[in-house]
């Protein structure tokens, strides 16, 4: 099984639109962080599709170590 690449050691604040489907990059290889650009092709990692019920700003994970994808849970603080 492939391991995700740490794209950044910080989360990113993103304005999310109600009802829109987003694809969170789970592999860490996307040049369009935190969203998928298809760079996972050839790996066993797939993006995570998600939508929100209300428009909101959220902190999305870029370290790919969160236990609550796609949202940041502070896991980046333990990466050395």
pLDDT in tens, 24-75: 999 999 999 999 999 999 999 999 999 999 999 999 999 999 999 999 999 9
* Predicted model pTM: 0.94
Question: Does pLDDT of 1 surpass 90?
Answer: no
Specify which residues 40 forms β-bridges with: none
Q: What is the secondary structure of 9-56 as a DSSP string?
A: SS-EEEEE-BT--EEE-SSS--SSTTB--STTTTSS---EEE-BSS-E
Per-domain boundaries in the chain: 1-66
Q: Read off the pLDDT of each residue in 11-18 and give the average, rounded to a whole number.
A: 98
Of 23, 76, 14, nearest in space to 50 by CA: 23
Burial class of residue 31, CB neighbours in 10 A (0-12, 13-18, 19+): exposed
Count of Cβ atoms closer than 10 Å to residue 69 Cβ = 17
């Amino acid at each position: 099984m492939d391991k995700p690449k740490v794209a950044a050691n910080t989360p990113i604040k993103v304005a999310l639109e109600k009802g829109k489907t987003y694809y969170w990059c789970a592999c860490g290889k996307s040049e369009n962080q935190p969203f998928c650009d298809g760079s996972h092709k050839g790996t066993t990692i797939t993006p995570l599709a998600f939508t929100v019920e209300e428009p909101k700003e959220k902190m999305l994970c870029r370290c790919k170590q969160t236990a609550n994808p796609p949202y940041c849970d502070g896991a980046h603080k333990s990466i050395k």
